[in-house]
Amino acid sequence: MSLALIAVAAAGAVQFLDRSHQYRRLLASGEQALRARDYYLAIEAFTGALAWRPDSMVAYYRRGEAYRGLRRDDEAARDLREASRLSPSAPQPLVALGELYDLKGEPAQAANWYGQAATRLKDEDPQVLYALALARYRAGSPATAIEPLERAVANRAGRPEAYYLLGLLHRDTQRLEAAISALEQAVRLDPSLVAAREELADAYRAQNRPVEEMRELQALAALDQQVGRRVAIALAELRGGQLDGALGTLTQAAARSPNDSQVQLAIGRVHLARAERSRDPAAVRRALDALEAALGGTARRSEGLALYGRALFLAGELVEAERILREAIATTPLTSEAFAYLADAAEALSHELDARDALINLDVLRGSTAPADERIARARRIGLLSLQGEDGRTAVRYLDRAVNAEPRDVPTLGLLARAQWLAGDPDAARRTLARGLEVDPENGDLRLLGRTIR
């Protein structure tokens, strides 16, 4: 090799080494600035590093992190995407993109990037799988979040927040037993995890397991001394029919917080439950007094108005009860029991279609969460009120639903036949009447009805 060629090669080697040295120096300077949260200096250093090495995944990735620190999300996303393009096997830019969209409140986008990162990591990082599941849950896709979270739990046992999230996912996909199992594990791992205990108490209540529900409510009260915890215990006692116990718990709570409207609302509810059972005027009066006090505070107004309207109904003040209950259903956040109470008050005042409409709204709100027998009884009552209000078409729709659930219910078959006749469908009325007579050939009401709809 000639001396000239050797000189050129040597110069090139020196230039390469110099570029490499400058690149590493700027990269180290950027890392130091990033650790010190001097994001502007970090961006300047990483930009300089990219001038020396334009294909540096690390420089793009770390500059993207610096842009994230300044909340310059578009520039951060641009650099992180470029880092991922330059190094398709690297999960770090993908995780950073997931975190970026998480902070922006775009969980569907976050889930997309976390999902890609999880694929590249091949389940080696349970934290990414947890982040993926959480993002999918926040994006409204709980069913798709279960599988990655179960993989995360299998890879790293002992994380209570993962079991808590798994419980929420199973709850939202109607797997109550699995939800309870996951929540119980979360509580075993961290007995102080309040959110998990709250969900577990609700799940036990949904399964009609009052002993387990009470255990969780008492544990919550021990962890959290707020008066609302004592109210929750009292309401559980009330649901279990322990009215004296509930009143005792609330009396203790009232002694600690005499002006707490939440306590007064619960006391009113207990007295109202007693009045429902006994129609005792003294219990009604005590309920009204407590509920008046609650309505002067910060307790949920719709609930307070609903209970107060019910107490007025039991006191025989029907017109005022209906007025108050109409106010209750116009107040948000809405309590569904207001519609049930309004239906009773309106029906007692012979406002059949108003009562019917209140029950239809209640049916929509409760939906499939109500027990089947409750839904059937409500459909029958809506049909009967519609008949009384001479609305045959609505009567047919709801009575048909009741008959489909109980095909051999002769009184309801009779009502459906009357509704079909009123709605102008005599052929359907005759067929329904024949079904009823097939079940009970000697039924006098059906025979009488048959003479009307010949």
pLDDT at 345: 98
pLDDT digits (tens, 9 = 90+) for 129-146: 999 999 999 999 999 999
User: For 361-402, how does the pLDDT look when each residue is reduced to its tens digit (9 = 90+)?
Assistant: 999 998 877 889 999 999 999 999 999 999 999 999 999 999
Contacts 24+ apart (CB under 8 A), 146-153: 146/170, 146/173, 148/115, 148/118, 151/123, 151/126, 152/126, 152/127, 153/126
Provide the token pair at 76. Answer: 């951060």
Q: How many angstroms separate the CA atoms of 19 and 25, rounded? A: 10
Q: Give how far the C-alpha of residue 369 lies from the chain's centroid of Cα atoms, to the nearest Å.
A: 13
Predicted confidence (pLDDT) at residue 323 exceeds the cutoff of 50: yes
**Which domain-ending residue is among 224, 256, 278?**
224
Residue 213 is assigned to a structural domain of this protein: yes
Mean pLDDT of the chain: 91
CB-CB contact of 395 with 415 (8 Å): yes
Could you give the angle at which helices 194-206 and 210-223 cross, rounded to 10 degrees? 160
Whole-angstrom distance, CA of residue 162 vs CA of residue 281: 52
**How far out from the chain centre does Cα 432 lie?**
42
The pLDDT tens digits of the residues spanning 41-85 come to 999 999 999 998 999 999 999 999 999 999 999 999 999 999 999
Distance set, CA 182 to CA 109, 128, 146 (Å): 27, 20, 12
Q: Is residue 346 part of a domain?
A: no
- In the three-class reduction of DSSP (H, G, I as helix; E, B as strand; rest coil), residue 239 is classed as helix
Q: Give the span between the Cα atoms of 237 and 266, in whole angstroms.
A: 11
Indicate whether 134 belongs to any domain: no
CA distance 399 to 416: 6
Q: Which DSSP string do the residues of 391-405 spell out, in sequence order?
A: -HHHHHHHHHHHHHH
b/e sequence 85-110, b meaning 16+ C-beta within 10 Å: ebbeebbbbbbbbbbbbbeeebbebb
Q: What is the pLDDT of residues 324-334, one digit of tens each?
A: 999 999 999 89
80 touches 96 (CB < 8 A): yes
What residue numbers bound the domain in which 180 lies?
A: 157-224
pLDDT top residue among 58 and 299: 58
Token pair of 436 as six digits? 């009823």
Question: H helices within 122-260, ranges in order?
Answer: 126-138, 142-155, 160-172, 176-189, 194-206, 210-223, 227-239, 243-256
Per-residue confidence band for 2, with pLDDT thresholds at 50, 70 and 90: low
CATH number at residue 188: 1.25.40.10
- Would residue 111 count as lying in a domain? no
How many domains is the chain built from? 2
Query: What are the residues whose beta carbons fall under 8 Å from the beta carbon of 205, sequence distance 6 or more?
Result: 213, 236, 239
**Given the structure tokens 């970090």, which residue do they identify?**
42
The C-alpha atoms of residue 416 and residue 51 are separated, in whole angstroms, by 83
Which residue, of 208, 224, 240, is where some domain finishes? 224
In a domain, residue 114? The reply is no
Give a yes or no: residue 400 inside a domain: yes
Instruction: Give whole-number Cα distances, 343 to 80, 115, 284, 311, 333, in Å.
Output: 59, 50, 19, 14, 19
321 falls within a domain: no
Last residue within a domain, chosen from 168, 200, 224: 224
String of DSSP letters for 311-367: HHHHTT-HHHHHHHHHHHHTSSS--THHHHHHHHHHHHTT-HHHHHHHHHHHHHHHG
What pLDDT digit, counting tens, does each position of 233-286 carry?
A: 999 999 999 999 999 999 999 998 888 999 999 999 999 999 999 889 999 999
Q: What percent of the chain has pLDDT over 90?
A: 81
Cis peptide before 333 (omega within 30 of 0): yes
- Contact indicator for 378, 364 with CB cutoff of 8 Å: no
Half-sphere CA count of 410, side-chain side, radius 13 A: 14
The answer, yes or no, to whether residue 16 has pLDDT greater than 70, is no
Residue 173 in domain: yes
